[in-house]
Amino acid sequence: MQETKPHIQQKRARFVVPSRSDSLLRNFTELIGGPLGRRSSPGAISPGFFTVERVLVILTIVAAIVSIMIKGYCRVNGWHTPQQFYATCYSDFPELFSSRGFADGVFPFLDPKSMFEYPVIIGLIAGATARLVPGHGATPDRILGYFDVNATLIAAMWIVVVLATARINRRRPWDAAMVALAPGIVLAGVINWDMWAVAMLAVGMYFFSKDRLVIAGLFIGLGTATKLYPLLVLGAILLLALRSGRLRGFFVTTVSAAVAWLAVNVPIAAINPAGWRYFFDYTRDRPAGYSSLWFAYNLVAERLRLAKLGPDAINALAMDMFLLACVLIAVLALASPRRPRLAQLTFLIVAAFVLSNKVYSPQYVLWLVPFLALARPRWLDFLVWQAAEALHWAATWMYLGQISSGGAAQNNIDMPYYVMAVVLHMAVTAYLMLRVAWDIWDPHLDPLRVQGVDDPHGGLFDGAKDWFRVDLKNPTASVLPWRRVEVNSAEDRSGREPRSGRDTSGTPRDSVNSTQGEGERHG
């Protein structure tokens, strides 16, 4: 007979309350009684049915319904040009369903004659969802059904992204409300299948934060087989592995990601080599896409009768611009007084890729929203950025309506205003990059680290000591592995006491007194 051990009830993590930590939200709470009181204990007691995650799911469902309602004109009248642009209800789903043969039973990659300009998993999703629509041919009812099936699945993926973002940092689950309510996702979420890649990467980031590197790598690899951008997170992991000396984490994650990507791509490449290669050839040879820096330049050059850039020149310039940005980010990561957080570096790298890429579609804003919610959860910056993206979203459809209808400029948005909208969304994104970079250089401005934590998203890097660091002002004082000098990454080399959640031994300070409320510590 075994002795019954007493049940040990684990203490709940106290939440960082948005009405306390964010000045903008604090002002908006006056209508409902003001900010949450200092002596309340959010997260320490059960809230009943309406837990944070359930509220976030409800918010996401409401936002998803609004996103589909925006497409209401096209759902009733069909997706026709130029009306779909003027009604701002364009989506790739109806267009691809008709023009790529999905309505007639063509399955991307598995059909030898199919040529599909997207990565493998998107092709499989596109073909599988077409099989879920009964009937045959590109009838209006089947086109609507295809859109509704994909929009519903995207809403499900949206919920996955929100929950993964909320669970990455248990003390700040409300930051995921940015993802649940992001205007950019509401407006552009059902344009294409990008949300699938966002969800896979979000799940991968969640497992990485829990030190489950193999599973994290598998989801990153699957995300890369859906859209290429999830691969960029490995660059951030590499920089933190160099800074902390924990290189094994990078290699395990990278090998797992490669295995997952190969497991998806190798069979397709063997079955249909030409169809599999078409995505890469199309990406290389296509001209500048709408709303990219290079497309805007070509528009202005054409108006001013200057030389326009061709695909080869744009490929070279875009690659050079991105590599330069990566070098600057690497210098920041290895020379900052304190090791950056994983979400900060990932946001910088992905944002640099978005700004330099020769293609920018309105739905690319989905890539950045979860990273900003983790890197810099400040609602004022977030809403200003989303307003700029919403303006760009509307300007894109108005411009496409003008060029597809051939209407007079006075009845449409003229080219200079469209270019101004493109420049605005790029400028605000660059501003956010600057703010995140400044948070890295001065951790006292970091919204998370002022709350007494190190890197809750970083997994094995959380609380790690410096193994390699370059001191730009005094190279001889740099922390180098061959000097056998251990310096805590949380220490500020200027001699100031760091406002970190860990002492010099790497132990979280929150564990010293877990019953002390956040409001009492920072009230």
Distance CA 360, CA 290 (A): 6
CB atoms closer than 10 angstroms to residue 103: 21
Give the pLDDT score at 381. 93
Mean pLDDT of 481-488: 51
Q: Are 314 and 294 in contact (CB under 8 A)?
A: yes
Of the pLDDT bands very low, low, confident and very high (cuts 50, 70, 90), residue 41 is low
Q: Are 255 and 220 in contact (CB under 8 A)?
A: no
Here the tokens at position 96 are 């691809």
- Domain definitions of the chain by residue range: 53-451
Mean pLDDT of 75-89: 93
C-alpha dist (Å) from residue 445 to 28, 186, 217 = 23, 30, 31
- pLDDT tens, position by position, 121-170: 999 999 999 999 998 988 999 999 999 999 999 999 999 999 999 999 88
Using the predicted structure, report yes or no on whether residue 380 has a pLDDT greater than 70: yes
Of the pLDDT bands very low, low, confident and very high (cuts 50, 70, 90), residue 499 is very low
From 55-59, 112-116, 325-329, 507-511, the region with the lowest mean pLDDT: 507-511
- pLDDT tens, position by position, 214-242: 999 999 999 999 999 999 999 999 999 99
Of the pLDDT bands very low, low, confident and very high (cuts 50, 70, 90), residue 8 is very low
Using the predicted structure, report yes or no on whether residue 10 has a pLDDT greater than 70: no
Better pLDDT: 440 or 490: 440
Using the predicted structure, report yes or no on whether residue 301 has a pLDDT greater than 50: yes
Distance CA 498, CA 165 (A): 27
Give the pLDDT score at 473. 76
Here the tokens at position 364 are 């690319």
Longest dimension (CA), the chain: 90
Which residue in 189, 191, 192, 171 sits closest to 181, CA to CA? Answer: 189
Here the tokens at position 429 are 């994104």
DSSP code per residue over 191-205:
SSSHHHHHHHHHHHH
